[in-house]
Structure 1
Amino acid sequence: MTSQTGVTRTDTTHTGTVDVLVLGGAGVDTVVHVPELPLPYADSYMIDSGIRTRAGQTGDFVAMGLTALGLRTHHLDLLGDDPEGDLVRALHREHGIGLSALPQPAGTRRAVNLVGPDGRRLSLYDTSRSRPGDRFPEDTLRALATASRHVYVTITQPCAEALPVLAATGVPLSTDLHDWDGENPYHEPFAYAADVVFLSAAALADPERTLRRIAERGRARTVVATAGAEGAYLLADGELTRVPAETPPAPVVDSNGAGDAFAAAFLYGRLAGEPPETCARYGALAGAYACTVPASRADAMGRDRLLQAAAEPRP
């Protein structure tokens, strides 16, 4: 169904109060398993495992993770009238995720993920699938945000322009800065507007310094930097703690989506009223599970499995 604002609603089951509105980050990935990363130059490679295209980028994975944990979730983004957009719409229908899709004439976001034998990935993003004038209609954005307990904002365009409208609603915000180096100015509006900030420690020379700067300059009282097998750094109300990594329940095959799973599970704990340390353990457990899911498949840790794992003592 398409409204007068051009919003296509592919799911009408979330017309009441929503737990989390996910903004942006919808798209499609083409996954290629390669023999090693970095990939040495060669005229050609034979990919015996196949080359697969499936729906699922950062916003999709967060929305899927939240829904698997029992939270009422709605996703707002721009999608093209193209095969990639059809895959994204089908993913949301399959998992019961509410989706409001605005038309994107430039097409649905897409990327190519090269995945190494150890699960590491190299992502190639097609930046031609956006336009400088892209915007979310303020009335649509405000209506969905005020009907939500929380808004998770991806750093994809045009989410930066949506931040003032979201801030005016007073709804708590979270975001993931991904592999921010602590210097790129593009990430700063997101870092300083959110109440909860996630990022990867991969590009940070001094994670604690970056976490404290985010807290000092912005609204966040909780900042988390994930560090893969080394766990995570949690800054909550000025106190920095280290969060141990959790043992994956199966062999690690792909790290794609681990950060999104961490964020979804952390927010699940936060909305349930759990302390930051418990939220971070939820995130670590869901992130470890995500590393066992092949890149060609879209899957997320369910609530029962998460709570069962969290109840077990650490080794």
Structure 2
Amino acid sequence: MTDLKYDVAGIGNALVDVIADADDKFLTANGIEKGSMTLIDDKRADELYGRMGQAVEMSGGSCANTIAGLASLGGKGAFFGKVKRDQLGDVFMHDIAALGVDFPARPASAGAPTGRCLILVTPDAQRSMNTFLGAAQKLGPDDIDEATIRAAAITYMEGYLWDQPDAKEAFLKAAKIAHDAGRLVSLTLSDSFCVDRYRDEFRRLAKDEVDLLFANEAEILSLYQTDVFDEALQKVRADCKFAALTRSEAGAVIVADGEVHVVDADKVAKVVDTTGAGDLFAAGFLYGLTRGKDPVTCGRLGALAAAEVISHYGPRPQVSLAKLAKEKGLA
């Protein structure tokens, strides 16, 4: 379509990630469920931050990571998220602008500070996330710019938004605008514990509202309340025109118009930190889709992006994904 300005418009929690090493003993001592995302208040955030070891701080947030990956591949993105005009908020806005991503939502001048996610990475590379949403939870329908959504080929949203009523309304407003404009709507389920909280609503969304669903194996099993992946696969195949299901080292399974495609994971010399793996898989997949690539190539782009991000600390690429894609003949 000639009036497209963006490949993807993302909507999600604007957060700054604080990442530190930890062992299982630390998780147990601090009541942290391994591999989960837990919402915490400002007091708990301050306490946990004080107990963490040496940390790396960088802009993050699931959907924002995806848009960052899209930009690294050469795509054009916009991102809707809420920060406060404070030190961390300024860092977030600087980082996303430096990527060439448009950030239409205005920062808050008062209220809760910019949100942060405290991420503990254990030696097995699993990440346990403790999220203080702060200003991010103030994202609402008024922050959604209709012109931006209409100008994006795909509107992509994170399931974490369902935890906040105003953000949920922003999600639904954007989806309607996108569909009315003949665009695609995509959703990532975000976290199996998030699915547990909103299973019925997510199943309705997957069946009736979403054109492309992203989920990892734990999330899709939770969505359909089964322990058998093939059972979940058949159910999502019936519900969704398009679904991309990631399975860690087992690769990914892509459902496209009833057909099922298996994509191998890219090899990684050493898995350092799985933070952002699903986010970057989505980035590669969405980039491929907006370039008219077939489902398998989209999945290979996703696998390439995910492999890069799990080879180092942090949820965003450290090298040009566009260059990597070109080297592999995927550009």
**TM-score normalised by structure 1 residue count:** 0.81
1:160 maps to: 171
Shift of the alpha carbon at 1:310?
4.8
Q: Which has the higher helix share?
A: 2
**1:225 lines up with 2:245 in the alignment:** yes
**1:136 lines up with 2:141 in the alignment:** yes
Give ranges in structure 2 of 5+ residues lacking alignment.
31-47, 162-166, 222-226
CA distance in 1: counterparts of 2:292 and 2:315, whole angstroms: 34
Shift of the alpha carbon at 1:186?
4.7
**1:302 lines up with 2:315 in the alignment:** no
1:170 maps to: 182
CA contact (8 A) 1:201 1:227 kept: yes
CA distance in 1: counterparts of 2:216 and 2:26, whole angstroms: 20
CA distance in 2: counterparts of 1:61 and 1:134, whole angstroms: 17
Identity of counterpart residues, as a percentage?
26
Shift of the alpha carbon at 1:129?
4.4
CA contact (8 A) 1:32 1:47 kept: yes
1:207 maps to: 229
Shift of the alpha carbon at 1:33?
0.8
Q: Residue 307 of structure 2 aligns to a residue in which SS?
A: helix
CA distance in 2: counterparts of 1:83 and 1:161, whole angstroms: 31
CA distance in 2: counterparts of 1:72 and 1:251, whole angstroms: 30
2:87 maps to: 83
Shift of the alpha carbon at 1:137?
2.4
CA contact (8 A) 2:7 2:287 kept: no
CA distance in 2: counterparts of 1:272 and 1:297, whole angstroms: 21
Shift of the alpha carbon at 1:212?
3.8
1:62–1:230: structure 2 CA closer, same or farther, 3 Å change rule? same
Shift of the alpha carbon at 1:55?
1.1
Structure 1 residues 1-315: aligned runs within 5 Å? 17-36=5-24, 39-41=27-29, 50-104=54-108, 105-127=111-133, 129=135, 134-137=139-142, 140-157=144-161, 158=167, 159-162=170-173, 163-180=175-192, 184-188=199-203, 190-192=205-207, 193-203=209-219, 204=221, 205-217=227-239, 220-248=240-268, 250-295=269-314, 299=318, 301-310=320-329
1:17–1:160: structure 2 CA closer, same or farther, 3 Å change rule? closer
CA contact (8 A) 1:31 1:296 kept: no
Amino acid at match of 2:116: R
CA contact (8 A) 2:4 2:153 kept: no
Amino acid at match of 1:180: S
Q: Residue 114 of structure 1 aligns to a residue in which SS?
A: strand
Q: Deviations over 1:261-313 (max 9, x none)?
A: 111111111111111011111111111111012128763652121231356xx
CA distance in 1: counterparts of 2:205 and 2:14, whole angstroms: 18
